[in-house]
Amino acid sequence: MNLVEEFTLLAYDDDGTPLTDGTHLDHGLGGGLLLELALAGRVDVVDKKVVALDITPTGDPLVDAALMKIVAEDKPRKPGHWVSKFAQDTRPQVLDKLVADGILRTEKDKVLWVFPRTKYPAAHDVEPAQETAARERMRRAVLGSGPVEPRTGALCALVAATDLDQRVFGDLDQKVARARLLEISEGAWAAEAVKRAIDEIQAAVLVAIVASTTAATAGTPS
């Protein structure tokens, strides 16, 4: 299971609705795609720009499609460009795949009996094993004090950047959990190239969220 799929499972509640707003969720997914590529050694961030290191397919269609978009671009772009671009259409693709894999199912209803909505609860009405495993990995990392495994560290960085920590670690002391997440997000556990990429991508997610939120607020009539 890739990082984007794990993040998606963590970002939805048992009822199948998002635990955060669309801006945070979608940009978290966009950042997750870049992080997955960095962890796989396919991209790096050099001089503040995302560059392809290896165009060998990973075997994951979603991740490979993102890599091909980067390769096909006429010039290197900043991480924020790709975070925003991938944020546009990653969510439906990931949800469709999780449904096809039998991890989630679709459930349609209406909000206020008027507005149609699709929810994505667990396929078997219990937390998916993949989500439980990801949650337990993160919990061990947050409650620990030493280095963490790269994929877990990247997932922690995503959760911190999208302010999902209170939802994911609701039973822990929030100040302690947040401090540890930020420590993990600094990436001391990662190889230098991955650490550099994670720093840049996490910053890009934060900037993209703020920019989108500001734009939405500015467009709202007073």
**What number is the average pLDDT over the span 184-202?**
73
**SS3 annotation, 81-96:** HHHHHHHCCHHHHHHH
Q: Coil, strand, or helix at residue 109?
A: strand
Amino acid 149: pLDDT: 87
Domain 3-216: which CATH class? mainly alpha
pLDDT in tens, 150-163: 899 889 989 988 98
pLDDT in tens, 90-125: 999 999 999 999 999 999 988 777 888 899 999 998
Amino acid 187: pLDDT: 65
Q: Which amino acid, residue 122?
A: A
Residues recorded for the chain: 222
- Pairwise CA distance, residues 171 & 70, whole Å: 40
* 144 band by pLDDT with thresholds 50, 70 and 90: confident
pLDDT in tens, 26-45: 999 999 999 999 999 999 98
